[in-house]
Amino acid sequence: MYTSFAPLQKLDDPIVTDAGVTLHVLRLDLYQPLLSGRSFGQPCGNKYFKLKYNLQQAKASGAQQLLSFGGAYSNHIHALAMVGQLQGFRTVGIIRGEQILPLNETLQDASDSGMLLHYVSRGQYRQKTNPDYLAQLQREYPDAYIIPEGGSNVLGVKGCMEIVDHIQHSIDNTLMANDCNIEAYSTIIVPCGTAATLAGIAAAAKNKQVLGIPVLKNAAYLDAEVEAYHQALGVPGCGNWQLIHDYHCGGYAKLSSELVDFIERFQQRHAIPIEPIYSGKMFYGLYQLLTKGYFDPGSCIVAIHTGGLQGLRSMQHKMAQLLPLSDC
């Protein structure tokens, strides 16, 4: 399905009502822009925004090929393969770890979109920002424009600034329930990996409070990264954003029964699919904050559903194992 703008959906939930706030979700998980008259076939969530200006730059530099880095379930690799193909680039994915056959769904999709999968050891993968290693890759793929892991660089952040336009577009073009002054929404909440997405949103929404829920443990270094992105963009010191480090559930891609149980209930209640790596932890954290009375009554919150549902296909089994046995 093609949607030129991501929809904003109101959530009706007693936890939200009891907290005296309103909550809308920006559904980037449904957003599929048209590129060269065609859509991806699968939404790319925030990864489309992170790639947009990187691809423009690649085109301007005359590159024929795009090269980037990711794990075997990477949303970024998946998006790069699809967006690259639609924009007429060949793509190379530097994939962490050994090849495992049959390919998982993520890598099969990438391969079907024409991506060349280049596997490297975990040790080699750790060199992904080392200039010598990048120079070596450039020699191996002379036509390639190299994009960092996750599409996280200043051009990626610049693209993520446009996420805020989608909130505004939806407000301007949809009849919102009038119990909330959505025009004056106060808070945006978003999950964070590298926090490039948060950096873009915070730079574009200077009069909003922007909260990030890091999905990695020990991610205190992210504050400096966001500052550095803002410096590079020329919007230093907005001071309108904050990372809340309490909801990573043990670390990247770590799951707890509590998290999986929350996700099941959330999906049943709202019929909005979420996954346990990013959006699940963001909503889990948000609900904890709501229950704790973190938000001023009357706050109008917009949560960014960043997508990532392609990765859910490989998580179902692990999630089912963590659910309490219901009917036996």
- Provide the binding-site residues for ligand PLP, judged by CB under 6 A: 45-47, 75, 150, 152, 191-198, 278, 306-308
Q: Which is nearer to ligand PLP, 113 or 306 (CB)?
A: 306
To the nearest whole angstrom, how small is the minimum distance from the Cβ of residue 47 to ligand PLP? 6
Residue nearer to ligand PLP on the CB measure, 5 or 278: 278
Select 48 or 141, whichever has its Cβ closest to ligand PLP.
48
Minimum CB–partner distance for residue 327 and ligand PLP (Å):
31
Q: What angle do CA 18, 21, 27 make, to 5 degrees?
A: 115
Element (H, E) at 211: strand 209-214
Least spacing, CB of residue 304 vs ligand PLP, in Å: 8
For the bound state, the minimum distance from the C-beta of residue 32 to ligand PLP, rounded and expressed in Å, comes to: 15
Residue 305 corresponds to which amino acid? H
Provide, rounded to whole angstroms, the least separation between the CB of residue 46 and ligand PLP: 6
Nearer to ligand PLP, 78 or 208 (CB): 78
Specify burial of residue 292 (Cβ count, 10 A radius: 0-12, 13-18, 19+): exposed
**Alpha-carbon gap, residue 19 to 25, rounded angstroms:** 17
* Inter-residue contact 80 to 118 (CB < 8 Å): no
Q: Give whichever of 81 and 196 is closer to ligand PLP, judged by the CB atom.
A: 196
Helix ranges (H only) for the chain are 14-18, 46-60, 75-86, 105-112, 122-125, 131-140, 154-160, 163-173, 196-204, 222-233, 257-270, 279-291, 316-322
Residue with the closest Cβ to ligand PLP?
308
